[in-house]
Structure 1
Amino acid sequence: MKNCILFIFLLSSFLGIAQLQLTGTVTNYSEPVAFANVFLTNQNDEMVINSGGITDENGFFSIDTKKGVYRITISFIGFQDWKKELLIEKNLDLGAIILKEDTENLDEVVITSQKKLIEQKTDRLVFNVENSIAAAGGNAVDALRVAPGIRIQNNNISMIGGESSRIMIDGRLLQLTGEDLISFLDSMASDDIKKIEIITNPPAKYEVVGNGGIINIIYKKGRRNSWKNTSGLTYNQNTFSFTTLRNSFFYNKNKIRLILSANGSKGNIRNQENSTISFPNSTWEIDTESKDEKNNYSGRFSLEYDISEKIKIGGQYLGNYNQPDSKGNGITNISNNQNSVDSLLINDNNRSDRVTSHVLNAHVITLLDTIGRKVSVDFDYFRYNNSLENDYIVNTFSANNEFIGINQAAQNFSNQNIENYSAKVDIEHPMTFANLSYGAKLSFITTLNDLENFNTITGSPVFDTNLSNQFEYKENVQALYINGSKKLNSKWNFKAGLRLENTETNGYSITLNQRNENNYLKVFPTFYTSYQKNDDHNFSFNYGKGINRPSFRDLNPFRSFINSNAYSEGNPFIQPSFTDRFTLAHNYKGKLITNLYYSRTTDGFGTLFSADAENEIQTIIRRNYYTTAFFKISETYTFDSLSWWKSQNYFSFSLQNTELDDDLNSSPQNGNQFYFSTSNTFVLGKTTKLQTDFWYASKTKSLLYNVDNMYNVTIGLKQSFLDNNLQVSLVFNDIFDTASLRNLSSEINGVKTIYGQNYSSRNVRFSLSYSFGNKKVNVKNRGFGSDDERNRAN
């Protein structure tokens, strides 16, 4: 018996040694090809299959075989078969293998598939906007509002519980933040967006910006061998209303890929803000409301051309013109310690605004060989201009509404120009021991802010030198990066990277003759690993270091007055903050995803409601003031067992611990938060779908602030006609008007401030779109039973 066991052991060991491993990754030039067939046949007889398999969702395959001479064949519908003779004497990694399109036979392909609404990748969460009813007919801001784990408050976009996130468009960083960013995203139609990638820990290839990670918005590119035109009309009703017209044209045939789109909006929206400032001897209650024009026009032009099978050239332009003129009024009640109103301040404000932006890109992609080596070169240009004229007067009244006098009257002329030139080269270099990618980037940014303030109390404008300013800011960044990834076998996958950035900044107040320079060289490492235990369980871990640079608006030292006792100002001496991020995740069958996330931010900066209690003056300032540690555990659960009901659910619990700088006269607010969201799609008929979205964020304490709870209920209905060419949707957003920021409170220097806002989050949106064209590659959506299939015609 012992001899028999020994014999079996030696035999199995010998067979194990004799087995060799053949690995590789299959792509279609730009992205992995999942579920491609891979098989080895005898060299002289292709009918005799030695071994085989299929690629996973990352395009990777691993085949066990013995020593010998074989022919490998890789096939996938819509592509030409890839064949090669192989001499296998040891473990062999073929690297990246490029499949070419089968243009002759592709025209007749008909595939039925439906991508998931939410997909969890190794280093990012993917929200497929084109499958969301709630985002239909809206803009990019509407799409971000319904994306899992994203929050938009006070013109700030962030991941739940985290800090500000930066926005990329097709992998290119947008040099805008705050109100300027929201205005730009308002001009982008959600129906032109394919997906949104939520990247908490960006790879070294991307700029290491934003303590809250990167959100990458990816445009639709059009299906192969087809042309399509889509026209749309959207009507949005809140207190006021606005209408949007759009048209998108896609042409993708042979060597040319062309995209033309235009959007225009006209109407008005209502914005409200309120704050309560409790000084020792008085309380100031400020309520403002404005009617803002929704008057913007945007266009997109994209062209790519295949010079040869190995060289592609292309360019893209995004243009936006916005005229968000505004008429507003505000009332400030000033009460004494007995809660009796002593006086009133009434503010009338008229604002004329012109905003233009231009984004240009030119690129060349060269494929060096058939194993995946390629070079990409990009040249980018971005220009942004905001020309603002603001006329306001603040009158003082007694408690009996008797006019006392003019508190403040002024006329402001502000002009902001941002110009950014950048160039980068990216090289993908598969090798036998690892897949390498490396590259470099140069970026040059110049921003000029010019503010002229005129005192108009007397009725005649008088130039105010104390409140006028010219500020110039320059930022130059030189970066190098290298990434390496290795799939050891069918279970283990590793990826690591280093990014080196040298930053030079120069801020100069021309009016004050004040200059602030900053130069620093930093290294930013990233690391990812994943372990596929079996078909059901996948474990992953990643780490990365990031930097958050202050926005141009935050650096500008000029003052903007609300009234004579309240103003906002920037700070040119803000330093960047740095964040270390760690994520541990478990994915069960792609349906239950558990994430543990930890980050630590040093030298953090932000906006503070500071105050001078003695003189009863409130200032909104920006400065570095904290170090914070943040922990979050989250669960993402997908239910799709029923053909008529699909549910995507997200839950998170977070903790935050903050340490404030010693010179800040305030106490840190450390607490926890519970967040839950669910998105449910119901198939009511062959052409009818209903989507219900709900999210809830509990009360929390963070940094200096206490924040009240919020929740959102949104219902959307989508009806298709004429073989899905005509789409009609009706969406009720924030039905109970409970998704806006309220009761954000902080206390500095013994003065407590409570702030809230409502930017018309409750609205009804009706949209109508019609598509026509030559769709030889025909992709039809069916019920949810096909979720595991891939959209192979994309």
Structure 2
Amino acid sequence: MKTYIILILVFLSTAAIAAPAQVTGNKADSLSLKFTGKVIDSVTKEPLIYAQVVINAGQKLVMQALTDTMGRFEASLKEGTYQVKVFYMGNENQVFNLVIAANSDHAVNRVFNVKIKTELLNEVSVYAKRKIIENTAEKIVYHVDRDPMAKNKSLSEVIKKVPLITVDFKGVPSLKGSEKVQVQVNGRSVTDYAIPVDQALKMIPTANVESVEVITSPGAASDGESLAGIINIITKNKLSLGGNLTVGVESTIGKSYNTKPTLNFTYGVGKVNFSLNGSYTNFKTLGFSNQLYSRNNFLQAQGGDLGYNGNPVYVNSGLFYQINKNQSLNAGLTAANSPYTFNQNLQTNINDQGTVNIFNRFSDNSVKATSLSTNLDYKFKFDKPGKEFNVGALFTTGKQNNLNNSINNYVSGTGSPMLQELSSNNNTIRTVIIQSDYKLPIGKHKLQAGIKLTNRHFDSKYQNAVSNQLAASSATADEYAYNQGVYAAFGQFQLMLPKKWTMIGGARYERTQNDARFISTNSSVNQGFNSFLPTYVIGKNLKNGMISLTYSYKISRPGISYLNPFQNFVNANTVAQGNPDLLPEHKNGLTLAFSHNAGKAYLYVDASADFWSDYILRVNQFVNNINQITYKNIGSYRQFGTSANLNLSITKALGLTVGGTLNLISTSDAAFNATYNEKLNFNASFIGTYNFKGGYNLQAEYYLYSNNYFFQSKTQLPNTSSIGLNKSFMKDRINLSVGVINPLNNKIAYDMLNINGGLTNQNIQTVYGRGLSFGFSYQFGNDKVNKKSKTNIKDNDTKEGSTNPIGF
């Protein structure tokens, strides 16, 4: 509680410090006049959006600003003579003389007519060929909006192009083979929106995504709980003038299918911009399941059909208000409804010490998850470039109901003719997050500091009934209330050194408090721990690239299912029980990265070493022929790896991107009881593109995966492929794409094998993966907005990389 109070005081003091600075930055003395300028095209008389305006008094810079969506800007000026320079999209600076005389109402207006060279507009509206995948010292960036083949595809499909990421058939992503990756949208974890990760990737419209970032060594500004790294989805956030509506559909047709209509609407006027986007997804995945479970003299084998289907709905709205040239507000509302079902129809054969039972088993697991989130963010940009203060809040409420129905019909043996198991798990969640940060340039250097307060509350009710016994007893019911508070503060400093060297040092402190009350077992957990998480970067910007060395220290907190002491009888032979004394896992990570741009070839390569400790291991013990499962912090291991990405522009029309990762996991810890140790895991991707005359784009993709070893387990992922053709019509108003997913193999299999002492468990899930893909989108409304956005090329676009690849 003391820590919580201290962090609140820090938060209030930070705001108090920033507030006087805000007044100082905007305060005009008694002789200042409010000046409002408007920049327009001298021919069409239309406002020029994002024109750069610089006002000088002689040799002294008075202010600089960008025009808003109405072409306007504001300034506080004294009486005198000024020079106003206007720069717009590659045109030469145009200079206007401005005389401010005494005015009783303290307000002056002026319209600036700018001559636009139409030949320049035509030139910049033609895109230079820009890289789809780029790498910096801290992250890999996949530019979704630069990839014509990403249009009209689901997000779970397109992120497979990003190096280090793999996605299973349910849409769950992994980074470097680990699912302990934090998936974010605009820097906020999707779990804070109470949306399952796989459903989020299905629901978010790809047309609304600008880029996907992969951060393998997150800095101090990122949450400490990003053990395997971060996948950050950046959505488009461009101001509009007038109204724009884009409707589309993404569809895959086959035995497994997916159809998703999407909508994206924006409307802007003056300083206000409104956006609305959403999707409805109808998907179904069909396939087969084969499972094997053996120990001592017990063998269970089962096989049959599986199905995975759902129809999630996603709606997101946003309201942006530019208060003045320094201040802005951004509000958002996100609603999601994601019902889905996973079912299996299997025949089961059990041989228990010579006694054989055969029965048909049908299981149906249905999930209904709903959530509603709202956020409000305030930003103040000081007149000094790079100096800003941000504060934001997020509130989420959600509900998830799980119902698992399993029916066993015995064909032969000594078992009951029919046995039904029915279990339900109803959860509610509430999340409140308040955070702020402050950025301060100090000469060429940069300082950043901030705090984040997070509170999560869970309520859960679990019931299990056998043979239609609907009245649950204490032995088959579990109920708990769980509160988790994470109170964090961070600071980092970027030091610019001679000869283009850069150093970044940062640290993050997190206080975690877990308080749980388990009603069924009449027990509780009150657990608190502190984490100090340093990060360091040293690097150099080369003439055509960069080199850097990064160190980070991260944690992973145990979830409530690992802490819950309730004994869950999974089946007649297995019981699982959590461990309330678990502590977080820890990882020390070191990464050396290098990139080089040779014009037609761009190369990125890195090498990493990760050292994990207090790893949470699942421990199996056999007591009276019952498999008892629990969890303990007893594992430590090392992971060494390298990844590379090569972009080649072979000709003006032909391009090739080749990427891959290779890593080795090793341990000398006997607690792992490692069946597979010091095994190599690798994957590779090959993406070829060809741009035909007439605007047709052809792309072929192939993804290769080895067995993924992790001590007691071996997972074999399927190789996947796709080929597609894309074309835009009517000045990009219409976009059409067709293709084939997995043309080389109709069925794709995921083979998961776990060997732990005398226990062997294998699960092979094979799904129909081949299908015809189709996509279509049409844009209504004011295309002048998009035209202006496209011609407003940023530095990082023209340089084909970050303007400061090492730094923040």
Structures share a fold, TM > 0.5?
yes
SS in 1 for 2:231: strand
Asked if 2 retains the 8 angstrom alpha-carbon contact of 1:660 and 1:667, the reply is: no
Look up the match of 2:409.
395
1:728 is aligned to 2:744: no
User: What code does the residue aligned with 1:516 have?
Assistant: V
Asked if 2 retains the 8 angstrom alpha-carbon contact of 1:155 and 1:178, the reply is: no
Asked if 2 retains the 8 angstrom alpha-carbon contact of 1:449 and 1:556, the reply is: no
User: What code does the residue aligned with 1:183 have?
Assistant: Q
CA distance in structure 2 between the aligned counterparts of 1:466 and 1:409, rounded to whole angstroms: 17
Look up the match of 1:698.
706
Look up the match of 1:370.
384
CA distance in structure 2 between the aligned counterparts of 1:107 and 1:330, rounded to whole angstroms: 70
CA distance in structure 2 between the aligned counterparts of 1:375 and 1:79, rounded to whole angstroms: 33
1:547-586: CA deviations, max 9, x gaps?
Answer: 1123344444556666433566655443211111111111
Asked if 2 retains the 8 angstrom alpha-carbon contact of 1:687 and 1:720, the reply is: yes
SS in 1 for 2:196: helix
For residues 174-323 of structure 1, the aligned pairs below 5 Å read 174-175=190-191, 180-222=196-238, 224-225=240-241, 227-270=243-286, 272-287=288-303, 289-323=305-339
Look up the match of 2:156.
141
Look up the match of 1:414.
425
Structure 1 portions without partners, runs of 5+: 1-35, 47-70, 84-101
1:689 is aligned to 2:702: no
State the 1:677 CA deviation: 0.9
1:584 is aligned to 2:596: no
For residues 337-486 of structure 1, the aligned pairs below 5 Å read 342-398=356-412, 404-406=415-417, 408-432=419-443, 434-455=445-466, 457=467, 459-486=468-495
More deviation, 432-441/414-423: 432-441
1:499 is aligned to 2:508: yes
Look up the match of 2:135.
120
Look up the match of 2:165.
150
User: What code does the residue aligned with 2:369 have?
Assistant: V
SS in 1 for 2:137: coil
State the 1:412 CA deviation: 1.9
1:709 to 1:475, Cα distance in 2 relative to 1, 3 A: closer
Asked if 2 retains the 8 angstrom alpha-carbon contact of 1:408 and 1:563, the reply is: no
- Give the counterpart of 1:773 among 777, 781, 793: 781
User: What code does the residue aligned with 1:379 have?
Assistant: A
1:199-254: CA deviations, max 9, x gaps?
Answer: 01112111121221111111112355464211012222342434221111123454
1:412-453: CA deviations, max 9, x gaps?
Answer: 221111211010111111112621111111110111221122
CA distance in structure 1 between the aligned counterparts of 2:116 and 2:410, rounded to whole angstroms: 74
User: What code does the residue aligned with 2:448 have?
Assistant: S
- Give the counterpart of 2:610 among 599, 602, 606: 599
State the 1:181 CA deviation: 2.1
Asked if 1 retains the 8 angstrom alpha-carbon contact of 2:190 and 2:196, the reply is: no
Asked if 2 retains the 8 angstrom alpha-carbon contact of 1:417 and 1:447, the reply is: yes
CA distance in structure 1 between the aligned counterparts of 2:147 and 2:618, rounded to whole angstroms: 34
1:327 to 1:315, Cα distance in 2 relative to 1, 3 A: same
User: What code does the residue aligned with 1:752 have?
Assistant: T
State the 1:518 CA deviation: 1.8
SS in 2 for 1:248: strand
Asked if 2 retains the 8 angstrom alpha-carbon contact of 1:177 and 1:551, the reply is: no
Determine what percentage of the aligned residue pairs are the same residue.
19
State the 1:283 CA deviation: 2.2
User: What code does the residue aligned with 1:390 have?
Assistant: N
Asked if 2 retains the 8 angstrom alpha-carbon contact of 1:133 and 1:717, the reply is: no
1:196 to 1:234, Cα distance in 2 relative to 1, 3 A: same
1:171 is aligned to 2:180: no
1:620 to 1:192, Cα distance in 2 relative to 1, 3 A: farther
Look up the match of 1:328.
344
Look up the match of 2:102.
none
CA distance in structure 1 between the aligned counterparts of 2:554 and 2:433, rounded to whole angstroms: 20
SS in 1 for 2:198: helix
- Give the counterpart of 1:488 among 475, 497, 518: 497
State the 1:652 CA deviation: 2.3
State the 1:370 CA deviation: 2.9
CA distance in structure 1 between the aligned counterparts of 2:491 and 2:116, rounded to whole angstroms: 37
1:705 to 1:155, Cα distance in 2 relative to 1, 3 A: farther
Look up the match of 1:541.
549
Asked if 2 retains the 8 angstrom alpha-carbon contact of 1:711 and 1:738, the reply is: no
Look up the match of 2:758.
750
Asked if 1 retains the 8 angstrom alpha-carbon contact of 2:751 and 2:765, the reply is: no
Look up the match of 1:20.
none
User: What code does the residue aligned with 1:142 have?
Assistant: E
State the 1:460 CA deviation: 4.8
CA distance in structure 1 between the aligned counterparts of 2:328 and 2:591, rounded to whole angstroms: 37
1:677 is aligned to 2:692: no
1:448 to 1:299, Cα distance in 2 relative to 1, 3 A: same
State the 1:613 CA deviation: 8.6
State the 1:669 CA deviation: 2.8
- Which structure has greater helix proportion? 2
More deviation, 287-296/412-421: 287-296
Asked if 1 retains the 8 angstrom alpha-carbon contact of 2:673 and 2:712, the reply is: no
1:349-391: CA deviations, max 9, x gaps?
Answer: 3444321012221011112223332110101112221112333
Asked if 2 retains the 8 angstrom alpha-carbon contact of 1:597 and 1:633, the reply is: yes
SS in 2 for 1:182: helix
More deviation, 732-741/545-554: 732-741
1:524 to 1:620, Cα distance in 2 relative to 1, 3 A: same
CA distance in structure 1 between the aligned counterparts of 2:681 and 2:431, rounded to whole angstroms: 38
TM-score after normalising by structure 2: 0.78
For residues 44-193 of structure 1, the aligned pairs below 5 Å read 77=89, 109=121, 110-113=124-127, 114-132=129-147, 135-153=150-168, 156-162=172-178, 164-175=180-191, 180-193=196-209
User: What code does the residue aligned with 1:742 have?
Assistant: Y
User: What code does the residue aligned with 2:758 have?
Assistant: G
Look up the match of 1:513.
522
SS in 2 for 1:202: coil
1:304-346: CA deviations, max 9, x gaps?
Answer: 10111111011111110122145432222224799xx932232
1:394 to 1:45, Cα distance in 2 relative to 1, 3 A: closer
1:755-786: CA deviations, max 9, x gaps?
Answer: 233465544332211112213251669xxxx9
CA distance in structure 2 between the aligned counterparts of 1:226 and 1:667, rounded to whole angstroms: 63
CA distance in structure 2 between the aligned counterparts of 1:388 and 1:396, rounded to whole angstroms: 26
User: What code does the residue aligned with 2:503 have?
Assistant: F
State the 1:738 CA deviation: 8.6
State the 1:600 CA deviation: 0.7
User: What code does the residue aligned with 1:683 have?
Assistant: N
1:717 is aligned to 2:725: yes
Asked if 2 retains the 8 angstrom alpha-carbon contact of 1:78 and 1:105, the reply is: no
CA distance in structure 2 between the aligned counterparts of 1:422 and 1:166, rounded to whole angstroms: 16
User: What code does the residue aligned with 2:504 have?
Assistant: K
More deviation, 405-414/191-200: 405-414
CA distance in structure 1 between the aligned counterparts of 2:335 and 2:346, rounded to whole angstroms: 34
Structure 2 portions without partners, runs of 5+: 1-50, 62-82, 96-111, 803-808
CA distance in structure 2 between the aligned counterparts of 1:729 and 1:613, rounded to whole angstroms: 58
Asked if 2 retains the 8 angstrom alpha-carbon contact of 1:500 and 1:524, the reply is: yes
SS in 2 for 1:323: strand
Asked if 2 retains the 8 angstrom alpha-carbon contact of 1:629 and 1:656, the reply is: yes
- Residues paired across the two proteins, number: 699
Asked if 1 retains the 8 angstrom alpha-carbon contact of 2:387 and 2:440, the reply is: yes
CA distance in structure 1 between the aligned counterparts of 2:280 and 2:450, rounded to whole angstroms: 38
1:635 is aligned to 2:644: yes
Look up the match of 1:33.
none
User: What code does the residue aligned with 1:631 have?
Assistant: F
CA distance in structure 2 between the aligned counterparts of 1:393 and 1:769, rounded to whole angstroms: 45
Asked if 2 retains the 8 angstrom alpha-carbon contact of 1:273 and 1:756, the reply is: yes
